[in-house]
Amino acid sequence: MEDCLFCKIIHKEINSNIVFENDNVLIFKDISPQAPVHLLAVPKKHISSILEIEKLDSDIIKELMEAIARVALEMGLDKEGFRVVTNTGRGAGQSVDHLHFHIMGKRKFNWPPG
Ligand code: AMP
Ligand code: ZN
């Protein structure tokens, strides 16, 4: 997808700090971390948001969730709990229109979120 920041990161046209990669999934560090651990997990396929997931994407989404869990465990985030968030739409804070899950850990999280 032209002009999509995360597609450019996926295609290595823009540098990122990658912590996990396979054929369908990329997980990299957020450039502006809001927690001691703040990663972004994306499907390599351009999907604009959770609203655009199609039936055909179910294997990719499963892999994405499995990768999130694997990385969270590898980083020891399960010990004190961690948060996985996908903002959908501008009103909820989505600024990049490529489906991404924030993985945040190593600090206290409030509920409900602001
Ligand atoms: P959202 O606002 O939920 O759409 O999340 C987008 C996230 O992308 C924000 O947390 C940004 O800090 C992050 N971000 C923007 N540009 C980059 C970049 N070049 N590399 C890594 N993360 C980025
Ligand atoms: Zn994209």
For this structure, is 100 an active site residue?
A: yes
pTM: 0.98
Span from the CA of 80 to the centroid of ligand 2 (angstroms): 32
Fold type of domain 5-105: HIT family, subunit A (3.30.428)
Q: What is the DSSP letter of 28?
A: E
| Ligand 1 pocket check for 95: Cβ under 6 Å | yes
Residues near 58 by beta carbon (within 8 Å), at least 6 away in sequence: none
Task: Look at the block and give the residue holding tokens 């560090």.
Answer: 29
Pairing of strands 18-21, 37-43: unpaired
Instruction: Specify the pLDDT at position 114.
Output: 83
Span from the CA of 4 to the centroid of ligand 2 (angstroms): 5
Instruction: Specify the pLDDT at position 80.
Output: 95
- Mean pLDDT of successive 10-residue segments in the chain (114 residues)? 93 98 98 98 98 96 98 97 98 98 97 92
| Ligand 1 pocket check for 33: Cβ under 6 Å | no
Instruction: Specify the pLDDT at position 1.
Output: 72
Pocket test for ligand 1, best of 11, 16, 26, 30 (most atoms within 8 A of CB): 30
Atom 23 in ligand 1: residue holding the nearest Cα: 31
The domain ranges of the chain are 5-105
